[in-house]
Structure 1
Amino acid sequence: GIEEALEQQRETQRISLLFERFLNPDRVSMPDFDIDFCQDRREEVIRYVQQKYGRDQVGQIITFGTLQARAVLRDVGRVLQMPYGQVDKLSKMVPSNPANPVKLADAIANEPRFAEEAEREPIVQTLLDMAQKLEGLYRHASTHAAGIVIGDRPLWELVPMYRDPRSDMPVTQFNMKYVEQAGLVKFDFLGLKTLTVLDTAVKLIRRRGIEIDLAHIPLDDPDTYAMLSCGEVVGVFQVESAGMRKALIGMRPDCIEDIIALVALYRPGPMENIPTYNARKHGEEEIASIHPKIDHLVKETQGVIVYQEQVMQIAQELAGYSLGEADLLRRAMGKKIRAEMDKQRERFVSGAMERGVGKPQADFIFDLLAKFADYGFNKSHAAAYAVVSYQTAYLKAHYPVEFLAASMTLDMGNTDKLADFRQDALRLGIDVVAPSVISSFRAFEVAENRIFYSLAALKG
């Protein structure tokens, strides 16, 4: 309702999130709409959007699968009627690297057995020649896993459409790149397992007659921060890794801003600043002043520039940029285009000098911003993930039985994770009852201070 919207607006302003980082009049391209939903209810959201805007105004986006080295060898080998075992052996000689697929020509150059096989059987050389000519061509059409487009009119008026036999939703014949050029806005509707864990835990807690509204839990709960400061983070979103745990123990967070900063800092490059942030937070190191006009903008991050939004705010306050212009500055710094950087430096320095800042200091601050803009993080993204992280920590601190049971249910296919959750439950004095046809169910269930093991989680 209106009251909740106003409360969210106040919270956004308190955390200093900038709408202009998302959308502004000077922006030349549309922003990315990546929205996480409970993975069990993602289809429900898509149905809602169809009902809200009309089924002919909502569609999925086509993707094209290409013939990569292994696949093209198999397909051509089948057409040449070569024995399956022979083709399988040849295709497995190509290194498997889905993230950075190996070209067939490179595989042939680096694997002497290809030449040996081709010399022994001429048809193998024919296979290799044909496969290299076909490699990279489109093999099949599919649909983008998460992408949805929403139009202000029937989509067929804007782009060509087709019907995927596996879906009842219309699909654009343009891929993601050309859909955006046609003027449509792409949304990624993503399923996030953690949101399903939270929903499951809240339902388990409700059985005790306790109603939890995660949107309104206190963000300053001492027990939650005490637990995080001790590194008790099994099941806590975003902070389970050994490195994050170490950073949390060093930080000893006591406010949501600390969690937001940690989410933003814990990446290659920025993580070098975590010890500085922690030392300054606990008074072990003095916070160095950048300039009196802008020190208040980096106060919450202990004088460290962490967020892209801080770069924008500094440009606004120190050099008179509008937030729209400041977003263009941030993008230029990120791309490091020499001509654009020189133009922005002149604009920044002259604007700062008009406001009483000396040229050497203005140049220094511009260079400082350029360095941080290279790996500065979007604060809105960090804040959203930090709040979800805090919600998982809050439930674990106050309702560990229900939280761990929900976590185990959503990871029941992962025996390593189940072992971690079980060990954590025992550490907390929670009894994990062995599976039984009498007391166990499909999901992990709770009663008093016990978790009943799921029958569906059993192997074999």
Structure 2
Amino acid sequence: MKVVSVKHTKSTKPVKVLDCFVDSGYLQGDSGSLPDVDTDFESLRLQDVRSYMERRYNSENKTRVFMAGTFTTMKIKAVIKDVARVHRIPPSITNYMTAIIKEDGIDFSDFMMLAAKERKLAKFINDYPQVFEDIRTLMFQPRSSSIHASAQLITPSQKDGVEMECFDYTPIKKIDGQLVSEFSGYDLDECGLLKNDSLATKELSKLRQVIEICNAQYGTDLSLEKLARSNCDDTKVFELLCKGYTQNVFQMSSRGMTKFLMELQPQNIEDLIAANALFRPATLNSGSTDAFIDRKHGEVAPTYLWGTYDAMKNTYGVLCYQEQLMQIALKVGNFSLGEGYKLIKFISKKKQAKIDAMRDKFMKGAEKNGCPKEDAIAIWTLFENAGSYCFNRSHATAYGVTAYAGAYLKAHYPTPFYTIALQWADDDELVTLMSEMEECSSAKVVAPDINNSESSFHTNYETNEIFWSLTRIKQLGVKAVEWIINERSKNGPFTDIDNFIDRIFKYKFKVYKYWDDPDNEEEFQKCPVNARHVRNLILSGCFDKIENAQSVVERYAIIEKAAKRLGFEITEKDFPSELVGKHYFWSQQQIELSGIGAIDYKRIYDNSEIKPRIKGRAKYTTLREISDPDKEEEKVAVCATVAEISENKFESKKTGHTETFCKITLQQNNDTCAMVIWPEEYAILRGELLQSKNRLVIFNGFVKYSDYSGKNEIWLNKRSQLQVL
């Protein structure tokens, strides 16, 4: 952001603004502490911001800027391992015991309660009692120090008229050339120093890149500031979110949040702000999230206690924000907002004595204002219950506006949006992104092409084609890709596989006519491309276009050409003779190596041996069709790839025994769906299914809605037929 001009305005009277006027301010010392200044910056520019802070405030030969230190503490697993090592207990025993402990943050009393339930853990304690005597005093003690990820501090230049530097306020050390406090951020807070948290947010970098593409390709005049300053009321944005198309939208893309938004059906920016504040573990457990949805949809009428309507009218009588609590405390209990802020801190830190002291003041203020006693008691109970998880509204607003900006770009400029999303995505996020893109936009991802693909996802904005990244092909590193792209840029597109090999490996195949032929400096550079890279490029479909391959099966001929030129062997193990003529084999190779590819599952099902046994019992259905809510309880036949498989255990309410069921993630190109096989059926099919990952499976079952995932799943039953290819 560039500051164009600065205007100073002076006033003799303080202007009261509800959200920030706190009498004489947030005080230091015994009566209060300075607030944290949390600012999110682009992840790609965070270091620039920190460098600026040092240049700006380390002036006049004073050192005032440093990073806060932090300490890692000894939690239960680490302290058991360290103490057991001292007592020379075999690591295999120790590791087995610590694996039983699921939550590393539990205290000693919780650990002993766990030992009462776990017989092996109890035996371990009985066998080595001295270990657990030593653990008691070591738990949660500092173990090592490091640099805080975001907290940067700036000390005042003077104190009581004396010139000061950061060394005069706190002990400072140097780690890798960086000044770091010996104290942690919490200790520095008690010292009265201002902590500036500069947080790296990759979403801001992604939004900037999308906006730059939109302005360059479509001639728009977009900016994040303009989107934030708009009315944030674009209809297409909220239609998109209500349908659950939330992938890569800031704070909105998790499975739980997507389901919540589809239930909430947000219609304006206030709903997005509330969603950010409400979808948190403590709020979900308290029932506030469900209460908000019920009241928003008119299923339950909102109720307001005395004096709370103005503060809670936008949230249907549900206490969501810290600012609401402060506003109610001011209006009902005659608190200042500064006292309301302290009340929130006391409640969140469970300082009961200080909470009780403020309760008396609140009750007296409520009585003076004419609030009925029963309402005052109810309001205070609401404070104590909700104060520990209330979210900061200004924070939720910043998140909500950022989410709106991302959803706006997604709704109106999907191709640039998905291009950047794919560039930043992890491998396990790609399928979900591509599946959503096909459903809600005209953009499409196409297979990598040796003459069009780049080191990252590259887009043709006229056709809305996003070419797969060459670096996403397995074993093809950045150096190999750069070598290929540099040759293409320098000498033009490749014409066929032979031309590619001649140019990439030109110095390997060079023939000298005379002993004194001159050499080129480039000959002394080691070519980072090898035969395996070429093989993987072919299998990923990079040469289909220039070799005029009409079918994926024709990639075998391209492999043979490359093998002859480069001298590698085509083995039966890699290319089984019974599979080289089947199109799905080559599509599977492409998907495995690059992450993209299309298999004709319907064709495989129609030609399968199992189809006659299923015929009449179920109808062939795609995974995308199964996601339709109207498909619940329908009998379906499916052909898909097994993407993931996991065994899970549960205690049967009928038998009381621990039983095992299986959950499989099925994939059809860019569509996924879960399949559940319960203990009785899984006991029969277990041998086949455990070896089925990345293989094709054909079966029949029925569709069942899952409350946990909020989606349809496929269940097998006793009559189900199953074949693994």
TM-score bin, normalised by smaller chain: 0.7 to 0.9
CA distance in 2, matches of 1:383, 1:257: 8
Question: Who is 1:122 aligned against?
Answer: none
Give 3-state SS (helix, strand or coil) of 2:214's partner.
helix
What letter is aligned with 2:105? Answer: N
In the comparison of the two structures, how many residue pairs are matched? 431
Question: Who is 1:257 aligned against?
Answer: 270
CA distance in 2, matches of 1:366, 1:170: 45
1:210 pairs with one of 201, 214, 220: 220
Task: Structure 1: state its 5+ residue gaps.
Answer: 7-12, 81-85, 119-124
Question: Who is 2:237 aligned against?
Answer: 224
Are the structure 2 counterparts of residues 185 and 332 from structure 1 closer, same or farther at C-alpha, using a change threshold of 3 Å?
Answer: closer
Higher relative helix content: 1
CA distance in 1, matches of 2:7, 2:374: 45
Question: Who is 2:661 aligned against?
Answer: none
What letter is aligned with 2:379? Answer: I
Structure 1 residue 266 corresponds to structure 2 residue 279: yes
Question: Who is 2:197 aligned against?
Answer: 188
CA distance in 2, matches of 1:360, 1:66: 45
Question: Who is 2:384 aligned against?
Answer: 370
What letter is aligned with 2:453? Answer: S
2:290 pairs with one of 262, 275, 281: 275
Give 3-state SS (helix, strand or coil) of 1:207's partner.
helix
Are the structure 2 counterparts of residues 400 and 222 from structure 1 closer, same or farther at C-alpha, using a change threshold of 3 Å?
Answer: same
What letter is aligned with 1:100? Answer: G
1:24 pairs with one of 23, 26, 34: 26
Are the structure 2 counterparts of residues 289 and 255 from structure 1 closer, same or farther at C-alpha, using a change threshold of 3 Å?
Answer: same
Higher relative strand content: 2
CA distance in 2, matches of 1:109, 1:362: 52
Contact 1:315 1:348 in 2 (8 A): yes
CA distance in 2, matches of 1:53, 1:241: 40
Are the structure 2 counterparts of residues 73 and 315 from structure 1 closer, same or farther at C-alpha, using a change threshold of 3 Å?
Answer: closer
Task: Structure 2: state its 5+ residue gaps.
Answer: 9-14, 158-164, 476-725
CA distance in 2, matches of 1:70, 1:362: 49
CA distance in 2, matches of 1:175, 1:249: 42
What is the deviation of 1:259? Answer: 0.7
What is the deviation of 1:151? Answer: 1.6
CA distance in 2, matches of 1:438, 1:282: 53
CA distance in 1, matches of 2:20, 2:412: 33
Give 3-state SS (helix, strand or coil) of 1:56's partner.
coil
CA distance in 1, matches of 2:27, 2:142: 38
Paired residues for 1:113-128 under 5 Å: none
What is the deviation of 1:17? Answer: 4.4
Paired residues for 1:130-145 under 5 Å: 140-145=144-149
Contact 2:26 2:35 in 1 (8 A): no
Paired residues for 1:35-50 under 5 Å: 35-50=39-54
CA RMSD of aligned residues (A): 3.7
TM-score for the superposition, normalised by structure 1: 0.80
Question: Who is 1:121 aligned against?
Answer: none
2:371 pairs with one of 332, 339, 357: 357
Paired residues for 1:318-329 under 5 Å: 318-329=332-343
CA distance in 2, matches of 1:276, 1:98: 30
Are the structure 2 counterparts of residues 48 and 268 from structure 1 closer, same or farther at C-alpha, using a change threshold of 3 Å?
Answer: same
Are the structure 2 counterparts of residues 72 and 283 from structure 1 closer, same or farther at C-alpha, using a change threshold of 3 Å?
Answer: closer
Question: Who is 2:396 aligned against?
Answer: 382
Question: Who is 2:471 aligned against?
Answer: 456
Moved more, 196-205 or 273-282: 273-282
Moved more, 439-448 or 215-224: 439-448
Are the structure 2 counterparts of residues 345 and 409 from structure 1 closer, same or farther at C-alpha, using a change threshold of 3 Å?
Answer: same
CA distance in 1, matches of 2:423, 2:83: 41
Give 3-state SS (helix, strand or coil) of 2:45's partner.
helix
Contact 2:85 2:91 in 1 (8 A): no
Structure 1 residue 178 corresponds to structure 2 residue 187: yes
What is the deviation of 1:407? Answer: 1.3
What is the deviation of 1:210? Answer: 2.2
What is the deviation of 1:99? Answer: 4.3
Structure 1 residue 246 corresponds to structure 2 residue 259: yes
Are the structure 2 counterparts of residues 134 and 277 from structure 1 closer, same or farther at C-alpha, using a change threshold of 3 Å?
Answer: closer
Give 3-state SS (helix, strand or coil) of 1:289's partner.
coil
Contact 1:73 1:91 in 2 (8 A): no
2:428 pairs with one of 416, 419, 432: 416
Paired residues for 1:320-339 under 5 Å: 320-335=334-349, 337-339=351-353
2:155 pairs with one of 147, 151, 154: 151
What is the deviation of 1:25? Answer: 4.0
Question: Who is 1:397 aligned against?
Answer: 411
Instruction: Kindly provide the CA deviation profile for residues 407-454 of structure 1, in whole angstroms up to 9, marking residues without a partner as x.
Output: 11112xx22201111112222232202223321222222222122222
CA distance in 1, matches of 2:337, 2:51: 36
Are the structure 2 counterparts of residues 286 and 162 from structure 1 closer, same or farther at C-alpha, using a change threshold of 3 Å?
Answer: closer
What is the deviation of 1:114? Answer: 10
Give 3-state SS (helix, strand or coil) of 2:314's partner.
coil
Structure 1 residue 445 corresponds to structure 2 residue 458: yes
Are the structure 2 counterparts of residues 199 and 4 from structure 1 closer, same or farther at C-alpha, using a change threshold of 3 Å?
Answer: farther
What is the deviation of 1:404? Answer: 1.3
Instruction: Kindly provide the CA deviation profile for residues 95-150 of structure 1, in whole angstroms up to 9, marking residues without a partner as x.
Output: 256843899x989982868999x9xxxxxx99x89x97997776654322222222
Identity %: 29
Instruction: Report which of the two structures shows the higher radius of gyration computed on alpha carbons.
Output: 2
Question: Who is 1:95 aligned against?
Answer: 98
Give 3-state SS (helix, strand or coil) of 1:374's partner.
coil
What is the deviation of 1:345? Answer: 2.9
Contact 1:345 1:363 in 2 (8 A): no
Question: Who is 2:174 aligned against?
Answer: 163
CA distance in 1, matches of 2:348, 2:144: 36
CA distance in 2, matches of 1:228, 1:5: 39
Contact 2:213 2:416 in 1 (8 A): yes
What is the deviation of 1:42? Answer: 1.0
